[in-house]
Amino acid sequence: MSQVALTGRATTSRRSTTTKSGASWGSPTTYLVATVLISVCIAPVLYIIIGGFRSNSQITVNPSGWPDPWVLTNYTSVLTSSLFWQQFGNSMISALSTTVAAVALALMASFVIARYSFAGRNTMYALFAAGLMFPMTVAITPLYLLVKNLGLTNNLLGVILPQIAFALPTTVIILVPFLAAIPKELEEAASIDGASRLGFFFRMVLPLSLPGVITTGILVFIGAWNSYLLPLFILNDSSQYTLPLGVQSFSSEHSVDTAAVLAFTSLSMIPALVFFSIFERRIVGGLTGAVKG
């Protein structure tokens, strides 16, 4: 065997490791970089969760140490607090209402944009795309004045309605490719079989666009759950607070009780983390389908 062939094999071996089944595992450098990035993302979350099992004296003596002994009272005191569960319920109502309404409205608007030709169609789609360039922070002052004039301050409805409006651009942009990819022949066949447009929408469009619906629903839910700025302006009663505001209020009231603040914070973010972890593959699959469409 020539020297050139040996050198080529050695180079290929260094670049990737191949299993017996023929699957390539990639370069070790890739795994090293991925491990570092994952550690950077997970370490703060683990620190907060584990920190809730420590006492304030343990945190003062060794801020990065391991709980010794493990303290459960921080979590039990939060879990037995009626205010925590009230704020948890407010967050759940806000997130679920925003998700259902935003996805339903976006699905209907996307269906019209993707399936029908009419004057102003491209302009309508461009307006939704332009909405991605205007974050809520830009419009928070006029938005607050509008909500105040409607009498919705200190009301969850004053939070839910703007969240729906700001979730629509992203939702429409993702759903339009899914609906546009549905073959015209299916609609024609459904029409021949006597199905109305609404019948075709509910019987064919919804099942075929389910990956996109799930993806947008997850993104809207997590965005609404983590929303902080809008509830901060609209809500002024602790009984109406969502969990992000509850964390801020709790940390202000218990600024010297670091362990309790860590426990409250970890319990507030766990639902969103669990929800995202369960549906992570759905998000990736949905976004991949949107790009292909």
Name the pLDDT band for 14 (thresholds 50, 70, 90).
very low
The 10s digit of each residue's pLDDT in 168-203 is: 999 999 888 888 887 877 777 877 877 777 778 778
The dihedral formed by the CA atoms of 217, 105, 158 and 142, expressed in degrees to the nearest 10: 110
CA angle 72, 73, 76 (to 5 degrees): 90
**Residue 204 near residue 182, CB atoms below 8 Å:** yes
Give yes or no: residues 259 and 280 share one domain: yes
User: Is the pLDDT higher at 282 or at 235?
Assistant: 235
Give yes or no: residues 56 and 153 share one domain: no
pLDDT of residue 6: 42
Give yes or no: residues 107 and 59 share one domain: no
Give the CATH number of the domain where residue 126 resides: 1.10.3720.10
The predicted model scores a pTM of: 0.79
Number of domains in the chain: 2
Instruction: Assign 24 to helix, strand or coil.
Output: strand
Given 73, 100, 134, which residue is the final one in a domain?
73
Give yes or no: residues 285 and 188 share one domain: yes
The 10s digit of each residue's pLDDT in 67-83 is: 888 888 989 998 998 88
* Residue 58 confidence (pLDDT) above 90: no
Which residue range forms the structural domain that includes residue 39?
Answer: 3-73
Name the pLDDT band for 288 (thresholds 50, 70, 90).
low
